[in-house]
């Protein structure tokens, strides 16, 4: 088929339509937007400043003994990177009917548009899986994003000793592991959930004196844990076990509907990207938190910066003379983005051991 300006324009219009359809279909069913917060950027390296909650009220006795607060803040840096992919087709592939050029272009657009739609989610999952590394994903207090000893006040770093101590954890493992996978019974899983949520509720503001009143917003689990967590969040009763000299035996049923409601457990979000097959773990789950009465926080646990949204660079209108000397056709999907840790206390990683 001769390559004319009309043919090329028609092909690229079809490619643009496929791009829009594929992108819309994917982005309508993603879990990661619940985890990251999108921030605007105008430079290669973006710096964000977090203001710490250090204000408090104290007794002034008979009045006049006023103590003044300093507003403390800490910086976080996100570096924008370029990502993309390209397609090259020879003139012969486009011109010959059996070259399959149009079909190749259409398939490439479908594949690359799907990948562009998934990109923020893939990067979010990558951070969540690798977030125990202080080298790859340092939080603003210098610790790994998921750590057992985050500073309550990352500016003072222990200078303020409040009711709740000077550190908190958003990595739950070892003696603080709270497994809820098939390695424990439903009853033990609910006990572990209760302990986890109770602990999260004690994490204080940066003054070390007042709870942040954090509550679970979402549970993010790998596919292997989906059925188990769905059962826990929707069950009305579970089997209750009792220990005896001869072992563990059934002791009846336990009404848990009220407990589940009290704990604020909703249906889990299943994240395929967190599975062991993709470098994650089939027994590790995550709890997204927020202040009481807030469906989502302003700052968020993960920052995603769409410096330059992904898009395909097309040829656009061409003349017959231009097409006559063109021996190949190039299309490129390109974008710039940044991703980095935000508030550690808003996302908790819970390992089975």
pLDDT for 143 beyond 90: yes
Q: What are the phi and psi torsion angles at 26 (to 5°)?
A: -75, -45
Q: How many whole angstroms separate alpha carbon 135 and alpha carbon 75? A: 17
DSSP 281: -
Paired tokens of 283: 């027994």
pLDDT for the residue numbered 28: 81
| Residue 211: CA count within 13 A, CB half-sphere | 11
pLDDT for the residue numbered 63: 52
- What average pLDDT does this structure show over 69-81? 71
Q: Is 27 exposed, middle or buried (0-12, 13-18, 19+ CB in 10 A)?
A: middle
Which comes out higher in pLDDT, residue 197 or 73?
197
pLDDT for the residue numbered 316: 83
pLDDT for 181 beyond 70: yes
pLDDT for the residue numbered 344: 95
Q: Which of 194, 193, 134, 200 is nearest to 168 (CA)?
A: 200
Using left for φ > 0, alpha for ψ between -120 and 50, and beta otherwise, residue 95 falls in alpha
- What average pLDDT does this structure show over 8-29? 88
Query: Can you tell me whether residue 160 is helix, strand or coil?
Result: coil
Give the best-scoring range by mean pLDDT among 55-59, 157-161, 221-225: 221-225
- Per-domain boundaries in the chain: 5-27+74-350
Distances (CA, A) of 39 to 131, 270, 291, 298: 20, 25, 20, 10
pLDDT for the residue numbered 86: 93
- Reported as a single tens digit per residue, the pLDDT across 275-313 is 999 999 999 999 999 887 655 556 789 999 998 889 999
Q: How many whole angstroms separate alpha carbon 351 and alpha carbon 353? A: 6
Q: Is 205 exposed, middle or buried (0-12, 13-18, 19+ CB in 10 A)?
A: buried
pLDDT for the residue numbered 158: 64
DSSP bridge partners of 286: 220, 349
């Amino acid at each position: 088929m001769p390559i004319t300006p009309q043919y090329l324009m028609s092909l690229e219009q079809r490619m643009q339509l496929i791009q829009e359809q594929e992108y819309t279909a994917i982005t309508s069913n993603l879990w990661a937007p619940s985890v990251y917060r999108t921030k605007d950027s105008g430079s290669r390296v973006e710096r964000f400043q977090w203001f710490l909650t250090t204000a408090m009220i104290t007794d002034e006795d008979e009045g006049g003994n006023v103590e003044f607060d300093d507003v403390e803040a800490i910086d976080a840096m996100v570096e924008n990177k370029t990502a993309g992919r390209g397609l090259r087709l020879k003139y012969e592939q486009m011109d010959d009917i059996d070259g399959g050029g149009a079909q190749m272009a259409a398939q490439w657009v479908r594949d690359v548009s799907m990948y562009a739609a998934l990109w923020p989610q893939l990067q979010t999952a990558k951070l969540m899986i690798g977030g125990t590394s202080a080298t790859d994903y340092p939080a603003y207090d210098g610790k790994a994003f998921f750590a057992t000893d985050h500073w309550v006040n990352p500016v003072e770093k222990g200078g303020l000793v409040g009711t709740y101590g000077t550190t908190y954890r958003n990595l739950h493992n070892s003696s603080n592991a709270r497994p809820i996978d098939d390695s424990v019974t439903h009853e033990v899983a609910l006990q572990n959930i209760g302990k986890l949520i109770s602990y999260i509720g004690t994490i204080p503001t940066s003054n070390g004196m007042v709870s942040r009143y954090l509550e679970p917003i979402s549970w993010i689990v790998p596919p292997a844990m989906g059925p188990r967590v769905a059962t826990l969040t929707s069950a009305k009763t579970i089997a209750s076990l009792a220990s005896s000299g001869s072992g563990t035996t059934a002791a009846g049923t336990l009404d848990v509907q009220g407990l589940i409601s009290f704990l604020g457990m909703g249906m889990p979000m299943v994240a395929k990207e967190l599975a062991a097959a993709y470098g994650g773990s089939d027994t590790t789950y995550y709890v997204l938190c927020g202040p009481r009465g807030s469906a989502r926080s302003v700052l968020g646990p993960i920052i995603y910066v769409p410096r330059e949204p992904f898009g395909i660079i097309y040829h656009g209108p061409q003349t017959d003379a231009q097409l006559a000397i063109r021996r190949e056709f190039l299309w490129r999907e390109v974008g710039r983005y940044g991703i980095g840790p935000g508030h550690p206390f808003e996302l908790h990683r819970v390992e089975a051991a």
